[in-house]
C-alpha cells in the first residue's frame, strides 16, 4: 500500500498497512459507541500532551501552535461532533489534524502515546466526574436531612428490630442515622476519587516510552493529583482494580437508598400509616381504583439492583489473565456511567421528596408505646429506683409482658 494522502487519511488501521481487510462496519460501530463518552477527555489529553511535547522540545513550536489551533478549530465545530465525523475513535484528533495539516505536522503529536493511556485517561476522567457529581448529591441530601431533623426532635416513632417494636425514638434521631450513613458513603466516594484521580498519561501501553516526556506536567494540565509510578499499573488493560472500586462504592450507596425507599413504602401502607407520600410520586391501578401505588421509591429499588449488577458485571469483565480482558471492560463501563447518573438522580429525588412527606405525628406517637416498646425503660426504673440487679428487673418485666399477653391486656391496662 502506498502512503495515504493526508486529505484522505483514514487512520493506522486502514487495510493495506498491518491488516488486509477493513474491520466489519458493525464491529466498528460498536467500538465507536464505547469510545464516544471518552472523546471530551481525550480532546483535553490531546491539548495537554501537545503543550508538554513543545515544552520538552519533542515537538517544535510552529508544529505545536498549528496542532493546538487545529484542536481549537475542533472545539468551534463541537468536540464530539467533529471527532465523530473524523472517525478513528480515540485517535480522531490525529485523523482530523492529518487531514487538516498534513501528516508532517498532524502525524507528530501522538508521539509517546498509545490507545492504552488514551482510553485510561478517558476512563479515569469520566470516573472522577461521576464521583464528584455523586459527592455533591450526597452532601445535598445530608443537608436536607439535617434541616428536617431540626423540625422533628419531638416526633416520636417506634423503632423496629426483627420486624417487631423495639425502643421508641424520635424521627430526628432516625433521620440523623441516615446522615451518618451518608457521611460514610461520602468517605467511600472520596476515597475512590483519590485513587481514580491519578494520571496514566505517558504510560503508553505498559512500559512508557523511550522519549523523555514529562508525565507530571501532563497530569498537572489535566487536573490529576499525581501520576501512576508504574506504567503497567497505570493501564486499565493490565490493572483494573480502580474500575472495581467505583462501582463497588456506588453499589454500597444504593444499598442504603433502597433500604430507605423500603422504609417509605412501608410507612405509607394502610397498616403503618406513618406518612403520606405526595401523589406526584405515585400512580394507581388499572383495575383496583382505590390503590395509591408508591412508584418513586420503587424505582430506586430497581436502580439499586442494576447498581449491584454493575459491580458483578465489572468483576467478571475485568478478571482474567493480565492483558487479556480488553473489550469486555467497555460493557461494564457503559453500565457504570448509567448507574452513576441514576444515583445522582435518585439522591436528588430523595432531596425533593423528604420535605414534602406528610408526617402523621400523633399516630406515630400512639404506636410507639402500644406494643410494650417502653418495657426496657420500666426495667431500668426498677434498677434505678429499687436497686435491683438488671437481670432480675429484666425477668420481672418479661414475666409481666407474658402474663398480660395471656390475659389480653395491653400496656395501658397495667396497674402497679
Percent of the chain, pLDDT > 70?
A: 98
Please, which pLDDT band fits residue 389 given cuts at 50, 70 and 90?
Answer: very high
Please, which pLDDT band fits residue 406 given cuts at 50, 70 and 90?
Answer: very high
Closest CA to 156 of 393, 364, 377, 1: 364
* 323: pLDDT strictly greater than 70: no
Q: Which residues contact 339 (CB under 8 A, 6 or more apart)?
A: 247, 250, 254, 303, 306, 307, 310
* 150: pLDDT strictly greater than 60: yes
What pLDDT shows up at residue 1? Answer: 54
3-state SS assignment for residue 21: coil
Length of the chain equals 416
Q: What is the DSSP letter of 197?
A: S
Closest CA to 156 of 369, 387, 358: 369
pLDDT digits (tens, 9 = 90+) for 237-288: 666 787 899 999 999 999 999 999 999 999 999 999 999 999 898 898 889 9
Mean pLDDT of the chain: 91
Whole-prediction pTM: 0.90
Please, which pLDDT band fits residue 115 given cuts at 50, 70 and 90?
Answer: confident
What pLDDT shows up at residue 340? Answer: 97
Average pLDDT of the residues in 222-232: 92
From residue 397, alpha-carbon distances to 51, 84, 121, 167, 192 in Å are 77, 74, 64, 15, 49
Strand residue runs (E) in 64-177? 156-161, 164-170
pLDDT digits (tens, 9 = 90+) for 48-95: 999 999 999 999 999 999 999 999 999 999 999 999 999 888 999 999
Amino acid at each position: 500500500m502506498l502512503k495515504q494522502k493526508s486529505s484522505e487519511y483514514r487512520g493506522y488501521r486502514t487495510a493495506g498497512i498491518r491488516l488486509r481487510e477493513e474491520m466489519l462496519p458493525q464491529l466498528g460501530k460498536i467500538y465507536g459507541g464505547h469510545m464516544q463518552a471518552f472523546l471530551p477527555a481525550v480532546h483535553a489529553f490531546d491539548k495537554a500532551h501537545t503543550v508538554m511535547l513543545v515544552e520538552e522540545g519533542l515537538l517544535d513550536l510552529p508544529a505545536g501552535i498549528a496542532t493546538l489551533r487545529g484542536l481549537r478549530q475542533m472545539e468551534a465545530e463541537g468536540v464530539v461532533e467533529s471527532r465523530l465525523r473524523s472517525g478513528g475513535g480515540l485517535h480522531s484528533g490525529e485523523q482530523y489534524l492529518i487531514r487538516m495539516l498534513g501528516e508532517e505536522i498532524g502525524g507528530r503529536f501522538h508521539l509517546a502515546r498509545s490507545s492504552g493511556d488514551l482510553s485510561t485517561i478517558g476512563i479515569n476522567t469520566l470516573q472522577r466526574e461521576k464521583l464528584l457529581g455523586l459527592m455533591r448529591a450526597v452532601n445535598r441530601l445530608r443537608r436536607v436531612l439535617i434541616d428536617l431533623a431540626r423540625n422533628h426532635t419531638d416526633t416520636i416513632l417506634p423503632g423496629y428490630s426483627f420486624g417487631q417494636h423495639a425502643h421508641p425514638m424520635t424521627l430526628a434521631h432516625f433521620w440523623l442515622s441516615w446522615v451518618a450513613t451518608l457521611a460514610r458513603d461520602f468517605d467511600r466516594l472520596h476515597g475512590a476519587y483519590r485513587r481514580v484521580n491519578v494520571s496514566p498519561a505517558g504510560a503508553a501501553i505498559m512500559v512508557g516510552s523511550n522519549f523523555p516526556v514529562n508525565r507530571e506536567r501532563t497530569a498537572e494540565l489535566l487536573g490529576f493529583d499525581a501520576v501512576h509510578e508504574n506504567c503497567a499499573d497505570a493501564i486499565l488493560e493490565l490493572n483494573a482494580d480502580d474500575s472495581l472500586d467505583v462501582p463497588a462504592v456506588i453499589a454500597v450507596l444504593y444499598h442504603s437508598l433502597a433500604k430507605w425507599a423500603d422504609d417509605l413504602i412501608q410507612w405509607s401502607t394502610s397498616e403503618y400509616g406513618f406518612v403520606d407520600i405526595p401523589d406526584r410520586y405515585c400512580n394507581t391501578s388499572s383495575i383496583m381504583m382505590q390503590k395509591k401505588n408508591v412508584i418513586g421509591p420503587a424505582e430506586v429499588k430497581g436502580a439499586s439492583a442494576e447498581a449491584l449488577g454493575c459491580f458483578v458485571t465489572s468483576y467478571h469483565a475485568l478478571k482474567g489473565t493480565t492483558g487479556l480482558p480488553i473489550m469486555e471492560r467497555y460493557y461494564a463501563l457503559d453500565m457504570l456511567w448509567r448507574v452513576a447518573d441514576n444515583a445522582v438522580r435518585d439522591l436528588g429525588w430523595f432531596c425533593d421528596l423528604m420535605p414534602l412527606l406528610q408526617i402523621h405525628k400523633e399516630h406515630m406517637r400512639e404506636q410507639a408505646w402500644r406494643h410494650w416498646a417502653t418495657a426496657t425503660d420500666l426495667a431500668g426504673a426498677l434498677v434505678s429506683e429499687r436497686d435491683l440487679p438488671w437481670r432480675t428487673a429484666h425477668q420481672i418485666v418479661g414475666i409481666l409482658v407474658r402474663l398480660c399477653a395471656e390475659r389480653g391486656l395491653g400496656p395501658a391496662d397495667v396497674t402497679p
